[in-house]
């Protein structure tokens, strides 16, 4: 460490501000310790050491500058690549033509006509109607028994589909009066 006494003439050139701090620090003032603050009331010795450390700052080496520059470029490049990958994974509105119909008209005979957003007729496939599969007699009897056991009303459709002899057997075993409407 350099001489801790007074500052030389060369150290004072252009550093009058620092010299003023050192001289102000030599005044006897009651010191307080406040957390996270720098005090001008330290002794002259500490103030001079601080100023000398500020004036003799080491220059950053070229290798550290290059390393920082390369690390910055790599980080920016990886961020750009991630943004590009995320952007290409998301579909854009202009990349795909809108599909669908604005108006679909179905006639009573089952003929279907559809029109697009501009009013042009669009070819459509007729919708296939879904017909439920026909239940077997055993399945109908089983469902009727489940309705009766749960205390629910038996749907008339089940009764209509059930042969008369099976309906009579259910009426007898459960003491009911289920009958067909036909």
pLDDT tens, residue by residue, 29-46: 555 555 666 655 667 788
Q: How much of the chain, in percent, has pLDDT values that exceed 70?
A: 65
Is residue 86 situated within a structural domain? no
Is residue 99 situated within a structural domain? no
**CA–CA distance, 112 with 104 (Å, rounded to integer):** 7
| Predicted pLDDT of residue 40 | 58
Structural domain count, the chain: 2
Is residue 79 situated within a structural domain? no
Is residue 51 situated within a structural domain? yes
Is residue 170 situated within a structural domain? yes
Is residue 67 situated within a structural domain? no
Is residue 63 situated within a structural domain? no
| Predicted pLDDT of residue 42 | 63
Residue 107: its H or E element:
none
Structural domain range at position 24: 9-55
Is residue 169 situated within a structural domain? yes
> Closest Cα to residue 8, out of 41, 43, 55?
55
| Predicted pLDDT of residue 76 | 93
Residue 82: its H or E element:
helix 62-89
Does position 95 have pLDDT exceeding 70, yes or no? no
| Predicted pLDDT of residue 74 | 95
């Amino acid at each position: 460490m350099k001489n801790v006494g007074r500052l030389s003439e060369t150290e004072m050139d252009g550093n009058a501000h620092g010299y003023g701090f050192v001289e102000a620090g030599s005044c006897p003032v009651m010191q307080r310790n406040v957390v996270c603050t720098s005090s001008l009331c330290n002794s002259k010795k500490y103030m001079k050491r601080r100023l000398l450390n500020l004036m003799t700052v080491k220059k950053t080496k070229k290798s550290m500058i290059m390393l920082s520059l390369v690390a910055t470029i790599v980080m920016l490049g990886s961020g750009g690549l991630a943004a590009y990958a995320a952007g290409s994974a998301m579909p854009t509105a202009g990349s795909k033509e809108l599909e669908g119909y604005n108006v679909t008209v179905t006639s009573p005979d089952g003929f279907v006509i559809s029109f697009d957003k501009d009013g042009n007729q669009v070819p459509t496939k007729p919708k296939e109607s879904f017909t439920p599969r026909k239940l077997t007699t055993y399945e109908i009897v089983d469902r009727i028994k489940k309705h009766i056991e749960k205390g629910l009303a038996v749907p008339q459709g089940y009764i209509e589909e059930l042969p008369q002899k099976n309906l009579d057997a259910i009426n007898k075993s459960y003491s009911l009066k289920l009958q067909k409407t036909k």
